[in-house]
Every structure is written in C-alpha cells, then in structure tokens.
Amino acid sequence: MEARANQFLGEEPVGRLMRRYAVPCIISLLVGALYNIVDQIFIANATYLGSYGNAANTVVFPLTVVALAIAVMIGDGCCAYVSLSLGRGNQQTARKSVGNSVIMVLVSGIVLCALYLLFSGQIIAMFGGTVNAETFRHSKEYFFYITLGIPLYMFGQAMNPVIRADGSPRFAMASTLAGAVVNIILDPIFIFVFRWGMMGAAVATVLGQALTAVLAVWYIIHMKQVKPAAADYRLDGAVCRKTLVLGMTSFLSQISLVASMAAVNNMIRKYGALDPVFGQEQYAQIPMAVVGIVMKFFQIVISIVVGMSAGCIPIVGFNMGAGKKQRVSSLFKKLLTAEAIVGAVALIIVELFPQGLIGIFGAANESIYYTQFAVRAFRIYLCMMICACINKACFIFLQAMGKAAESTILSMIREIVFGVGFALLLPLFFGLDGVLYSMPLSDILTFVIAAVLIVRTFRELDRSSEKVAG
C-alpha cells in the first residue's frame, strides 16, 4: 500500500494535477528568483550604488547559477528518480535516492564555497567584473558574502523538488517563500538604513536562504511518502549515478547558461569599450547593468515556464513508470499551450512597456544613455520569447520522460553552440548590438530543432498507447 501512495498521479485528470503541482512550483521558483531580483531593485535605487552596484550584481549572478546548476542536478534528478520508482512500486530505491541526494548536495556545497573563496578575484574577472574599478570593488564585496551562503542556498534549492516528489508542493513553496520574505524585509534595512551597501544586500539574501534550508531539514526528517532510514544516507554508486543522470539536463541547462552569460558579459565589456558613449569611464558599466536587468525580467518569465514544466515531473515520471503513455501525451499538449501563452504575454510587455520595466530598476537616477540602451536591449534581446518558453518546456519534459540524451543535446545546442557561438560571432559584424541579436537568433534556431523532437515524441507516445489498447 505504501509503495503505491502516489497512485492518484495515475488516476486524477492531468489538467487538475498540472495545476496542483505546477502552481506551487512556479511560486517557489519565482520566489527563488526574487532573491537576486530584489537585491538588484534595492541596489539600483540606492543612489550611492546605482549602475555600479547593478553591474556588480550582473557579474555575480552567473556564479550563483553555477551553485544552482549543481543543486538542481541533484534535486531534479532525485525528484525524477523518486517519481519513477514510486510509479514502479519500488519504495527502497526512492528512499536511497533521497538519502544519497542529501549527502551529495551538502558535500558539493562546501566544496564550491571553498573554491569560490580561494579564487574570487580571478572568477570575478572572468565574468566581466573588470569593466571599471568601482564595479570590481562592488563585485568583490557582494561575491564574498554571497559565497558564504552557497551551501545553504544549494541545500534549499536541491531539496525543493525532493519535497515536491514526496507529495508536498505547498510546503516546498512555503519554505522558499519564507526565505524570500526575510530577504525583502532585510534588504531595505541593510541598504538604506544601515547603508551596508553590497554587503547588506548579500547578508539579507544569505539569512533568507538559511531559513529555507532549515525548513528543508525539518521536512526531510518528517517526510510523508518516502522516509529514508539511516542506511539510506550511505552513498551508493549506482543510485548516485542514476540520480545524477536524470538530473543532468537540469545541470547542463543551467551551467551552459553560465557559459553563455560569461560570453555575453565579456563581449559587452570588449565592445562597450569601443562604443563612443560607453567607452567613456563614467558610462562603461551601463551596458552590463542593463543586460543584467533584461536577464532578470527573462528570469521571471523563465521561472514561470520552468515551474510549469518542473511541476509536471512527478506526474510524468509516475505515469511513464506505470505505462500510462496517453496521459503523458495529454499533459504535454496542455503544457506546450500554456508555455506559448506565457511567452506571448511576456513578449507584449517587453515590446510595449520597456520604459516601465527599467523604471523599477532605478532608471530615474541614471543618464539618458542608460534609458536608451535599456529600451533597445529589451526589445531586441527578448523578441523571441514565445520560442524560448516552448524550448524550455521541451527540455524539461523530455528529461521527465527519461529521455536524458535528447534533452541534454537540445539544451547544449541552445546554450553552448548557439548561445556562446552567436554571442562571440555577431559582435564582429554588429558591435555591441550583436550581443543583443545573439539571444533571439539562438531561440529561433533551437525552436526549429525542438519542434522536430516534439512531433517525434507525440508519435512515440501515441504508438505506445495504441499497443496498450490493442
């Protein structure tokens, strides 16, 4: 009976299950995204930080994504493994995956923290932090304190999908929300009242992450469906490999994004220096600050998109494990439709209201060059939002189905081949604007490939369903 505790995943209408699991997941990811976004909003509106602080935030952001990449590889892999195991009625492997995942994320968090502290200067320079002296100073300060919280951040992010797989998406949402609320409350106090600058923004973030981690520890001790025993925390090579393989797509989609952001930041630094306006010392940080803001809006949209897709992982995994392919096909159709709608709404916002968006991030305190470049960046960089949303849905859904190879290859093509390649190539012909063109071109070409995989996946699911019916 216990092994089939999640039987409802194979019986309830898929639309209802999608709402039940996706909505808390969306909120969890949105709240998680708010950590960095809220920091940037308060930093941008602090006149003593302004675009220098904004640029520093942009430099450090990819480095937090590295930590997130490792965390989601472990967490999403465990979530998929647990769901597949429960669908097959195998409680033992589900317990082992959870126990092993806890140990893996703790060890990797400590190791990454140590590496960041040892090589902070070189790492910041690698991500464009040397655009000018003031930006470098702010970057080092922010990075140091953020790094101290890396193990806590990784643990909370990795356990979030594990908690969802255990059948508690609302608790996963609430634990992340609690941490974000702490960050939102403390940010203005530390930045405007205590005037702690970048340190204040980072400390507020770390304290919020600590609360989320504590709540995750409490839940792991009191899990409902999957209850690891002491022996399940002993590392098992086969279980670790399976968990990491299932989470590899999540890792590569994040880590390849880091490579893309590194290329973008460095091209901005290089070609901004050649621009007649941004080549001046007092304006040199503007392009990097602006692209960081554009990426924050994109992060909000992608949090919704990934939340819908990741929320479906337990449903897809259970039904694939149980052989109910028609339900998987129906869920995929609903997901793709929803993702396209989100992309369309986001596209309308960035094309019609870019000035309103940049106003949130302190544009009133900046020069006219800041506003002009920001409007152009929003309209060009994000003009293929619909394709970007469908691409992300395809990556994650294929992963949930156990198609790690297809999902991984598609993700790598998008972020490395196209994302890095075009970011390096197009500025040769279009200068600073070439960096902006790299995003939409990457998304439209990836969509062409994704469309082929989507059609093939539907045909495969339909053939499997016909065989079962026959």
- The CA distance from 440 to 189, in Å, is 39
318 with 83: CB under 8 angstroms?
yes
pLDDT at 465: 63
Rounded CA separation 420/439 (Å): 10
| Angle at alpha carbon of residue 61, lines to 58 and 65, rounded to 5° | 150
Which amino acid makes up residue 200? G
pLDDT per position as a tens digit, 275-293: 999 999 889 999 998 998 8
Question: What is the full DSSP assignment across 322-361?
Answer: TT-HHHHHHHHHHHHHHHHHHHHHHHHHHHH-HHHHHHHT
Q: What's the confidence (pLDDT) of residue 303? A: 84
CA distance 425 to 451: 25
Long-range contacts of 466-470 (CB under 8 A, 24+ apart): 468/323, 468/325, 468/326
Q: For the segment 396-423, what is each residue's pLDDT rounded down to a tens digit? A: 888 778 787 888 888 889 888 999 999 9
Measuring CA to CA, which residue among 43, 19, 66 is closest to residue 308?
19
Distance CA 183, CA 245 (A): 33
pLDDT at 2: 40
- Residue-by-residue DSSP string for 74-141: HHHHHHHHHHHHHHTT-HHHHHHHHHHHHHHHHHHHHHHHHHHHHTHHHHHHHTTTTSSHHHHHHHHH
Q: What's this model's pTM, rounded to 2 decimal places?
A: 0.78
Residue 255, classed as helix, strand or coil, is helix
DSSP codes joined into one string, 44-58: HT-TTTHHHHHHHHH
| Residue-level pLDDT at 3 | 41
Unique residue bearing structure tokens 């203005």? 188
Reference 222, options 181, 166, 173, 269; nearest CA is 166
Q: What is the residue whose two structure tokens read 């609903």?
A: 334
Residue located via tokens 């430099």: 59
CA distance between the termini of the chain: 29
Question: CA gyration radius for the chain?
Answer: 22
Q: Tens-digit pLDDT profile for the chain (470 aa)?
A: 344 556 788 888 888 898 888 888 788 778 767 777 888 889 988 989 988 998 898 899 888 989 998 998 999 899 889 988 887 888 889 999 999 999 999 999 999 999 999 999 999 999 889 888 999 999 999 999 999 999 999 999 999 989 988 888 889 889 988 998 999 999 999 999 999 999 999 999 999 999 999 999 999 999 988 889 999 999 999 999 999 988 887 787 678 778 888 899 899 999 999 999 999 988 999 999 899 889 888 988 988 998 898 888 888 888 888 888 899 999 999 999 999 999 999 999 999 999 988 888 776 678 899 899 999 999 999 999 999 999 988 988 887 787 878 888 888 898 889 999 999 999 999 999 999 999 999 999 999 999 999 999 999 988 866 665 55
User: 441: number of CA atoms within 13 Å, CB side?
Assistant: 16
